Amino acid sequence: MSLWTSAEIAAATGGSASADFAVSGVAFDSREVGPGDLFVALKGETTDGHRFVAQAFAQGAAGVLASDPVEGPHVRVADTARALDALGMASRARMVGHVIGVTGSVGKTSVKEALFAALDRGAPGSAHRSLKSYNNHVGVPLSLARMPAATRFGIFEMGMNHAGELAVLTRLVRPHVGIVTAVALAHGAFFADEGAIADAKAEIFEGLKPGGTAIIPYDSPHRERLIAAARPFASDIVTFGHDKAADVWARESISQAAGTLIVARLRDAELTFTLGQPGAHWVSNALAILAAVEAVGGDLPAAGVALAEMAGLAGRGRRLPIAFADGEALLIDEAYNANPASMRATLAVLGQEKATRRIAILGSMRELGPSEASEHAALAGPIAAANVDFALLVGSEMGPLAEALEGRTEFAHVADAAAAATRARALIGVGDAVLVKGSNSIGLARVVDALAGTA
């Protein structure tokens, strides 16, 4: 069955079709176009997708959404960005299942992926989610447009770095359930304080469908602020957290060799399962996931199995071996992004590892605003608490942390990811546990590639 026909695309976007065709997917990056896809020729500040139409067809595109004249099967529209929004909204309108929106300063991609695994495990082939971190003004409508009409559960990640952005995205997604995973100092350069970040995250509730559910972290200092923001839009507010006063909480949480044994108390059920991912932050993630599964009537036991099997994502907790002639070291790949809260959480995970030495390769945290220096310096405490034997600091913003570590922890400070990749291999030996984490713009993924032997 096709995802869209040319007639449906034209009706949704107000465009005109040059020919009859059908597509099985949607893409806006010509490098990702595959056989049967609709290529959306977006115009940006630095490039124009219309330049890559021939390449898209060469890679098997079945048709193109274009605003300029093109050769080959296409739907012509006035503005391809607005047309993509319209196609996403048409996809949302024809889908009669449940939709879950996910945002938060930390954990949103991990929660989105785990939610997909949990719901798909209970109803195989019926769940859909946004891929990668497609969570902005282009990625969200693209993810919606890719959703099959028969989807029972749609899970969409929404991100922001300025106030007002989530309000726009959530009105495209129109979720039945909106989740805020956590509120922390991310993109602090664009907000007056963390309370303003909480307000911006709470915009996700503005798009809730009538009768919708807001899922809120009970342990957050901004809990009451989030609840107040949700009340005008949500028929039900569910809190999750470690405190027994939360609606969904961990009655027991016991670390074991195979993972964390959790006894989760929900509103109408109790579930015992083993969480495969380590760390207190993942316990919190799991509780939010179970709250959402319960809210949409999903299969809770199947969700527990999925959480037990959940592997770390690339850049977000993936575990890789570093091979040596006489053994291995453990690499914890958290290179995708970083803020103070996620740094503390992953350093705590490193501290729990049984290892010959614990090595932290930490890149600068970007967009923190006026508190940048103090937030970097404050990582000295979590580094000490994790019994880190050596810290390799990457980027100029790490200067205050280097000063704070003097006389406390052995460390080195290098300028960039290239220097870190050169230095890192010589640091590590058999039996070590190595954490790599930093803001995505620092580029520590190249360090992960170098250490794992994929570069």
Binding residues for ATP are: 104-110
CA-closest candidate to residue 266, choices 286, 278, 179, 282: 286
Number of Cβ within 10 Å of residue 296's Cβ equals 18
Residue at token pair 């020729």: 41
Half-sphere exposure (Cβ direction) of 107: Cα atoms closer than 13 Å: 27
Are 328 and 322 within 8 A, CB to CB?
Answer: yes
Instruction: Please give the C-alpha separations between residue 270 and each of 100, 213, 265, 281, 308, in angstroms, as whole numbers.
Output: 22, 20, 5, 20, 16
Question: Which residues does residue 301 pair with via DSSP β-bridges, in sequence order?
Answer: none
User: Tokens representing 376?
Assistant: 């970097």
Give CA angle at 142 (138, 144), nearest 5°: 125
C-alpha 50/C-alpha 201 separation (Å) is 35
Are 111 and 288 within 8 A, CB to CB?
Answer: yes
Beta strand ranges found along 355-427 (DSSP E) = 358-363, 390-394, 410-414
- The 3-state secondary structure of 314-336 reads CCEEEEEEEEECCEEEEEEEECC
Residue at token pair 């040319």: 6
Specify binding-site residues. 104-110
Are 118 and 307 within 8 A, CB to CB?
Answer: yes
C-alpha 447/C-alpha 418 separation (Å) is 8
Element (H, E) at 186: none
Are 176 and 100 within 8 A, CB to CB?
Answer: yes
C-alpha 236/C-alpha 156 separation (Å) is 20
- Which DSSP state fits 350? H
Question: Which residues does residue 66 pair with via DSSP β-bridges, in sequence order?
Answer: 76
- Which DSSP state fits 70? -
Q: How far is CA 147 from the centre of its chain?
A: 18
Are 428 and 420 within 8 A, CB to CB?
Answer: no
Burial of 180-208, coded b for 16+ CB within 10 Å and e otherwise, reads: bbbbbbbbbeebeebeebbbbbbbbbbbb
User: Tokens representing 36?
Assistant: 């049967």
User: Tokens representing 343?
Assistant: 């740094």
